[in-house]
Amino acid sequence: MTSSVMERQAKVAGKTLNLSDIQGNVVRAYGHIGYFHARYLFFRINDPGNARAFLTRVAERVTNSAYADSKRNTRQTTSKASTNVAFTFAGLQAIELPAGSLMGFPQEFAAGMKKRMSILGDEGSSAPEHWDNIWQKEVHLWVSINGLSNADVEERYQWILRQNKDSGDGVELLSGHRGAAGEEDLMFQTGAILRDENGNPSGKEHFGYRDGISDPVFEGQPNAPDTVLGRGKLLAGDKWAPLAPGEFLLGHLDEAQEYPKAPMPRSLAQNGTFMVYRKLHQNVATFRRYLDDSAAQFEGSKEMLAAKFCGRWRDNGAPIVDAPDDAGKKCWDARFEAADAAEKRRMLTDFHYNDDIDGARCPMSGHLRRMNPRGSLEFGQKGAFNTPSALADRRRILRRGLPYGQSGPDTNDADDHGIIFMALNASIERQFEFVQQQWVNYGNDFKEGNDKEILLGNHTGEGKAVLQVEPGSGKPPHFLTKLPRFVECRGGDYFFVPGITALKMIAAGIVDPT
C-alpha cells in the first residue's frame, strides 16, 4: 500500500462490534463467503406459543456475523448454509411483544411498505395491486436461507419445515410468489448470483452492470481499514473514514452522535437493524431496446452511453468519472489490468465528483451519483461543511440481496427476472425512504428539477434526463427523452432484524420494556 493511500485513510477511534450478536449478512454480505444461492420464506404466525417454540429451535442455528472477521472465521469453518430471521411490525404484534416495546418502533416500520407507497413512488405498474400474491396477504415473519449450493439450501429448507412441524405448526408458510414458468403460487422466492459464459459468478444484474461494489464501510467492520477509500465518509483533505455504526446498527452512536430511535428495553434493539425487502422486476427487453435506440443518437459508443446511465461501465465496473469516454476507458483498463488486487479494489471505489461538479462525466441523474453523491452536494463550495459528504452520510444504506430469474438474448419484459433488493439501515425513513423519494424519483437536490434517476425512477414514458457536457466545450447536452420504466416493484415490506440475544428473548417471551 502506498504512503499516499495510507495518508488518505483517516485515523479513527477503534470500535469493536460484538459480531456474534449481529445476524449474518449485516456486517458483511454473504456473497463474500460464496453463499450465491438463496431462498426467502415468509410466514404467518397462527399460534404465538408454538411460534415461539419454533423460533427457539431456529434461533439455535441462526447465523451471526462472526465470519466477517477473516482472522476468526472463514468460509472453511462456516456452515454450508445460513439462516436468518426478521419480523414485520404485524409479526411482532402476532407474537405478543409487549405493547410498551411495540410503541417504541418508528412509525414508518409500523405502517409497513404498502402504506408508504406514495412516498416510495409505488404507483402505476409498481402499485401494490400488481404485486405478487404473497404481498396481498399479511406477512409476519421472514426467514432467509443462503447457501453454497442449491442442495445446501434445500437441506436447510427441509430442516426449517421440520422445526415448525415439531413445534406444533405455530407458523404457516405463505405461498404466492411468481415463477419463471408463469407460476403465481410458489412457496418461496429464490435468488442466485448470475454467471458469465464460462459459468463463473459474474456479480452482475440483468441489465449487465456489476453490482455491490461500493457498499458503505462503517466502524467496527473487521476489514474497514482496507476498504474505506471511496466507501466511507469523505473528510476534508480528501481523506476517508468509516461511517458511524449507528447508521446501520441500533444501540450504537450514529453520525449525529446520537442513538437511533429504537424500542425498549435496550437489549431488544441492541445490534438489530431494519431491513427493506423489495422484489424489483427488471424490464430487460425495454432497457435493451431503449439503449439501442438512444445510442444511435449519441456521440460515443453504446457502452459509453450505458455507463452514463449508471455511472459505471458494464464490463468491469470502471467508474465513469475516472474513465469518462471511450478513449479514457482504454487508458483506465490498461492501468487496471496491470494493477494488483488491492489497487484494483481502490480504483473501483476511490473517487468523488470534486472535478465533475457539473456532471459532465457522471450525469446528475446517473444511478451512482443519485445513490451516493459523495461530496458533490457542496456544488463546488469548498469548505461548506467540515465533512464534505455531510449531506449524504446520513442517507447511506447497506445493500444486500441477489438477482432472481434468467434473461437470455431473447428475453421479454414478461419473463420473471430482477433483483431481490434488501437494504439495511437504522432509520428506514431517514435513509431508504429519503433516497427513494428525493434522489430516485425527484432531482431537485441535484439541480435537476423533476428529473428522476435514470435506471430506478418511476418513469411514465414522458420524462427526460440530461447528460451534461463540459462547460465551455461548445457541445450541446444530450437529452434522454420519453424514459420508460425500467424497474418495477413486485412487492415487499419493512422488517426488524433483531440481534441474536434479542431474537432469543422474543422466542422465550421474556421481553420486558419496563
* Per-residue model confidence as pLDDT tens digits over 105-156: 999 999 999 999 999 999 999 999 999 999 999 999 999 999 999 999 999 9
- Give the number of domains in the chain: 2
Tell me whether residue 400 is in a domain: no
> How many residues does the structure list for the chain?
514
* 260 and 301 share one domain: no
Amino acid in position 98: P
pLDDT category of residue 432 using cuts at 50, 70 and 90: very high
Domain boundaries, position 32: 21-279+492-508
* 330 and 461 share one domain: yes
* 222 and 295 share one domain: no
| CA 297 to chain centroid | 33
Mean pLDDT computed over 6-22:
77
Tell me whether residue 430 is in a domain: no
* 339 and 202 share one domain: no
| CA 410 to chain centroid | 28
Q: Residue 243 gets which letter from DSSP? A: B
Residue 474 has which C-alpha cell? 461548445
* 37 and 109 share one domain: yes
* 479 and 362 share one domain: yes
- Bridge-based pairing state of the strands 487-497 and 273-282: antiparallel
Residue 1 pLDDT > 60, yes or no?
A: no
Q: What percent of the chain has pLDDT over 90?
A: 88
* 111 and 202 share one domain: yes
**Residue (of 317, 349, 335) closest to 231 by Cα position:** 349
Which residues 6+ apart lie within 8 Å of 184 measured at CB? 132, 133, 176, 178
Alpha helices in 8-66 (DSSP H): 48-59
* 271 and 320 share one domain: no
Amino acid in position 28: R
Residue 440 has which C-alpha cell? 430516485
Tell me whether residue 49 is in a domain: yes
- Gap between the Cα atoms of 441 and 459, Å rounded: 8
* 485 and 502 share one domain: no
* 51 and 137 share one domain: yes
Tell me whether residue 436 is in a domain: no
Tell me whether residue 389 is in a domain: yes
Residue 414 has which C-alpha cell? 414478461
Tell me whether residue 216 is in a domain: yes
* 486 and 350 share one domain: yes
pLDDT category of residue 205 using cuts at 50, 70 and 90: very high
Over residues 326-379, the pLDDT tens digits come to 999 999 999 999 999 999 999 999 999 988 999 999 999 999 999 999 988 876
Mean pLDDT computed over 392-414:
95
Tell me whether residue 165 is in a domain: yes
Q: Nearest 5°: CA angle at 239, between 235 and 242?
A: 75
Helix-strand-coil percent breakdown of the chain, rounded to 5?
35, 20, 50
Taking the CA atoms of the chain, what radius of gyration do you get in angstroms? 22
What separation, in Å, do the N-terminal and C-terminal C-alpha atoms of the chain show?
51
pLDDT category of residue 76 using cuts at 50, 70 and 90: very low
pLDDT category of residue 14 using cuts at 50, 70 and 90: low
Alpha helices in 399-458 (DSSP H): 434
Tell me whether residue 15 is in a domain: no
Residue 189 has which C-alpha cell? 422466492
What is the CB neighbour count within 10 angstroms for residue 434?
A: 19
Whether the Cβ atoms of residue 276 and residue 434 lie closer than 8 Å to each other: no
Q: Nearest 5°: CA angle at 217, between 85 and 232?
A: 145
* 274 and 306 share one domain: no
What are the C-alpha distances in Å from 368 to residues 214, 311, 428? 9, 5, 20
Q: Residue 201 gets which letter from DSSP? A: B
Residue 402 has which C-alpha cell? 441477489
pLDDT for the residue 377? 83
Cell 470502471, residue located: 318
- Bridge-based pairing state of the strands 273-282 and 37-45: unpaired
